[in-house]
Amino acid sequence: MDENLITKKDLLTLTGISYGSLYRWKRQKLIPDQWFIHRSTFTGQETFFPREEILERIKRIQDLKDGMSL
């Protein structure tokens, strides 16, 4: 796997966010559609994200969420 990518499963585990939150933020345009990278793997289709960008964005969303409503 590309070192610059993180799987959706690892992203959710690492950040503690839910699947629902991730896709709600996508619908709200807080996370760009192009960051959802779909690739075939030996287990089927998986979603990957650019590691540094998505982790930084989620941290920023979580920090802002503490101070205001999204």
The pLDDT tens digits of the residues spanning 47-59 come to 999 999 999 999 9
Give the model confidence (pLDDT) of 18-36 as tens digits: 999 999 999 999 999 999 9
- What is the model's pLDDT at position 3? 80
The tokens for 62 are 């979580």
Residue-level pLDDT at 1: 57
Please, which residues have CB within 8 angstroms of residue 24's CB and are 6 or more apart in sequence?
A: none
Residue 5, strand partner residues: 50
Distance CA 70, CA 68 (A): 6
18, 36 Cβ separation under 8 angstroms? no
